[in-house]
């Protein structure tokens, strides 16, 4: 049930619009300005399209396209004109918005960042993609964790970006911090269609959490993005799906955070987000609360290493034309903080 896409909004509901935005070509600052105007116009379309809509979500690469261009002249800043335009659009249309920017980084490669702005024009969530799609993407790995905020109509809201969603730990982290709705924005192309679908569903089911997911759409003359906007309920069922691949279509659904809360409290069987830390509670009081997972211990200790690690062929971006990096993670940023 999704309230006929939000037409029949319940008092506890959150209506989400997922924009299957036409994939752009952005090379110059003038291109960036035009694409910013296009995104702003789509915010207004979303409001006209669905008066009950609480949150409009734009895909990853909505401003920059899929060129992977790191030219500083077209990188964005939080205090730049693009973000200012998004804030004004949210105020003008009385709507929350989720947007994608490639963010200038004076100490390394740009960040692939996502922001959520409320209907008063306030920046509420700021996230840097933790898992760039290597070896293709040149972006600096994120350093802000997985934020969770109070979203529209009292929901707990989080954001991850594209490849992040292929790591079950990302969705688990969002849910562990309280997220009832997790957005996933992407620029994926057609070869990823099947894995996009089943990870969106598994991220929802394994964490009793709504996932709302959207890709860029259409062709830029080189790449073909797939749209595939998809809202998955906390039981893993798809309740809205943009299967036509129609550019600039806005896929809408009403989701119910109150039912997420109810399930998390009342479910016994398959309450996996709880049961992970309370193994076998039928047999032992409170369940086993140890950590039996070797990879978690090794990752935390900085010694994560696969048994086949020496045989892995691609460990940098040279196969995609990037220079092999020599700077270690955190270098530059730490110096700037001093």
Is residue 335 part of the annotated active site? The answer reads no
- Name the one residue in this structure whose structure tokens are 């752009």: 24
Contact yes or no for 64/70 (Cβ under 8 A): no
Q: 314 in helix, strand or coil?
A: coil
CA distances from 78 to 7, 69, 101, 160, 215 (A): 34, 19, 9, 18, 23
Cβ atoms 240, 252 nearer than 8 A: yes
- Let me know if 129 is a catalytic residue: yes
- Residue 217 a catalytic site member: no
Other CB atoms within a 10 A radius of the CB of residue 316 amount to 12
* Two tokens, residue 221: 């003359």
* Cβ–Cβ < 8 Å for 210, 181: yes
List, in sequence order, every residue forming a beta bridge with 231; answer none if it has no partner: 212, 240
Residue from 9, 87, 98, 129 carrying the catalytic annotation: 129
Identify whether the C-beta of residue 260 lies closer than 8 Å to the C-beta of residue 208: yes
Which of 90, 162, 215, 232 is the catalytic position? Answer: 162
Q: Give catalytic residues, as residue numbers.
A: 60, 129, 162
């Amino acid at each position: 049930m999704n309230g006929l896409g939000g037409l029949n909004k319940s008092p506890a509901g959150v209506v989400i619009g997922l924009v299957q935005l036409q994939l752009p070509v952005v090379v110059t600052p003038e291109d960036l300005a035009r694409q910013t105007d296009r995104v702003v116009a789509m915010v207004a379309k979303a409001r006209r399209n669905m008066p009950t809509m609480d949150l409009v979500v734009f895909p990853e690469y909505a401003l920059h396209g899929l060129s992977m261009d790191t030219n500083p002249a077209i990188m964005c800043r939080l205090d730049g004109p693009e973000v200012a335009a998004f804030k004004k659009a949210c105020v003008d249309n009385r709507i929350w918005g989720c947007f994608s920017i490639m963010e200038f980084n004076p100490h390394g490669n740009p960040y692939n960042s996502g922001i959520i702005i409320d209907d008063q024009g306030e920046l509420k969530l700021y996230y840097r993609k933790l898992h760039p799609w290597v070896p293709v993407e040149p972006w600096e790995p994120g350093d802000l964790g997985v934020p969770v905020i109070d979203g529209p109509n009292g929901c707990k809201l989080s954001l991850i970006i594209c490849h992040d969603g292929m790591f079950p730990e990302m969705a688990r982290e969002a849910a562990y911090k309280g997220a009832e709705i997790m957005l996933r924005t992407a620029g994926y192309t057609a070869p990823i269609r099947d894995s996009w679908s089943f990870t969106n569903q598994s991220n929802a089911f394994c964490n009793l959490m709504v996932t709302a997911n959207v890709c860029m759409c259409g062709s830029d003359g080189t790449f073909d993005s797939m749209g595939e906007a998809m809202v998955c309920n906390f039981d893993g069922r798809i309740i809205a799906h943009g299967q036509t691949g129609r550019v600039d279509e806005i896929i809408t659904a009403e989701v119910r955070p109150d039912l997420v809360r109810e399930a998390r409290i009342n479910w016994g069987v398959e309450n996996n987000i709880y049961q992970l830390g309370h193994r076998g509670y039928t047999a032992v009081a409170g369940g086993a609360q140890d950590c039996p997972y070797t990879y978690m211990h090794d990752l935390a200790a900085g010694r994560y290493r696969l048994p086949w690690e020496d045989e892995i062929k691609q460990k940098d971006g040279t196969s995609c034309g990037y220079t092999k990096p020599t700077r270690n993670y955190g270098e530059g940023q730490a110096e700037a903080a001093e």
